[in-house]
Amino acid sequence: MADTSNTFASPPGAGPDFSADEAQKSPATLIKALGIGLAVAFILSWVYGPLDFHSPLIFLNLALVYFLGLLLGRIGEALLKILRLAGTAAAVSLGVAMGLAAAWFSWASYLFTITDYNFEVYFSVVLDPGELYSWIYYLAENPIWAPSGRGGKASSFPPLFYYAVWAGELLTLTVVPVKKCRQFIANHRLCDSCGHWLADNGKPAVRRTPPDLPAIVASLKAGDASVLRGLEPLSPEGSGGWLTIKGYACPRCPEKPGFVRVFRNELVMDKKSKEPREIENPLGGFVEIPVDLEGEIFAEPEPAGQPPEAPGTPADPEETA
């Protein structure tokens, strides 16, 4: 694999050491991410399990579980980012593994807490799914949740209620991290040359929604960005929504072509607040863009008729003195 004909050894950390393709498909990178993800789930379980025991209300537990799911999701995103791991399959595996591990370890640390810190119980549950199932069954059928130390507190809900709550907890712990990790993968792309993440150019362009939008979407999905040529600027009277074009490029490979993502923005009436609310939906993924078109789209001044609540425009006119 190593190319020995290259006599100029690159200094460590200075050059591309692998291609984007390798980064996306390397099983070693995924295994590393899964290993760190499981370790994180293990550590967090020692916070969540005892908290679950001491929390006075089961509904507070559900909020805690949601918070734990969000935390796992953020850590999953960070792992994908730092390890440069791309691909939906990797994102889903990482999210599911972290969620399942967090649920399992949390059950173990919870049972450890309610059995007066019995390590035998802890290890039997961690090592044997059948043991965990026996405990879950026992607790649902015999809802006296603090056998010792707290005098026992009888519960008034039927077993089915607990099964439903625990199933909801498990679902929250897996779905939330998977969603976060998938979102990260959908919104980021690795450079084909050096395997680092592309960076947002920070100046989204706005265009009026063209009448032939379906044809444009089809071309974008086929990887053809030239359909974005000559789109009309946004006019204040344009009420049918607008397109936002975001540009991305590799910070390490200035010679490589950039990419764009196109979003459709619309103002919809919020049913609850009765206020118009902006929604933004991506029209496909990253599309490579020719250099001259990139210039046409991003180099011009911002159009005068900015839509209300346009993203990424916190400019305060009073400060530009």
Name residues whose C-beta falls within 8 Å of residue 64's C-beta, 6 or more positions apart in sequence: 48, 51, 52, 55
Would you say 36 or 194 has its CB closer to Zn ion?
Answer: 194
Backbone dihedral angles phi then psi of residue 67, each to the nearest 5 degrees? -65, -40
Would you say 76 or 258 has its CB closer to Zn ion?
Answer: 258
State the minimum distance, in angstroms, from the CB of residue 80 to Zn ion. Answer: 18
- Least Cα distance to 265 among 252, 246, 247 occurs for 246
State the minimum distance, in angstroms, from the CB of residue 176 to Zn ion. Answer: 32
State the minimum distance, in angstroms, from the CB of residue 298 to Zn ion. Answer: 19
The first and second tokens of residue 92, run together, are: 């889903």
State the minimum distance, in angstroms, from the CB of residue 201 to Zn ion. Answer: 15
Would you say 101 or 191 has its CB closer to Zn ion?
Answer: 191
State the minimum distance, in angstroms, from the CB of residue 251 to Zn ion. Answer: 8
Would you say 236 or 251 has its CB closer to Zn ion?
Answer: 251
Would you say 12 or 151 has its CB closer to Zn ion?
Answer: 12
State the minimum distance, in angstroms, from the CB of residue 253 to Zn ion. Answer: 3
Whole-angstrom distance, CA of residue 54 vs CA of residue 166: 17
DSSP result, 113-177:
HHTTS-HHHHHHHHH-HHHHHHHHHHHHHS-B---SSS---B--S-HHHHHHHHHHHHHHHHHHH
Q: Which residues bind Zn ion (CB under 5 A)?
A: 191, 193-194, 250, 252-253
Would you say 16 or 284 has its CB closer to Zn ion?
Answer: 16
Whole-angstrom distance, CA of residue 313 vs CA of residue 194: 31
Query: Any idea which residue has 């679902």 for tokens?
Result: 171
Whole-angstrom distance, CA of residue 114 vs CA of residue 302: 62
SS3 state of residue 209? coil
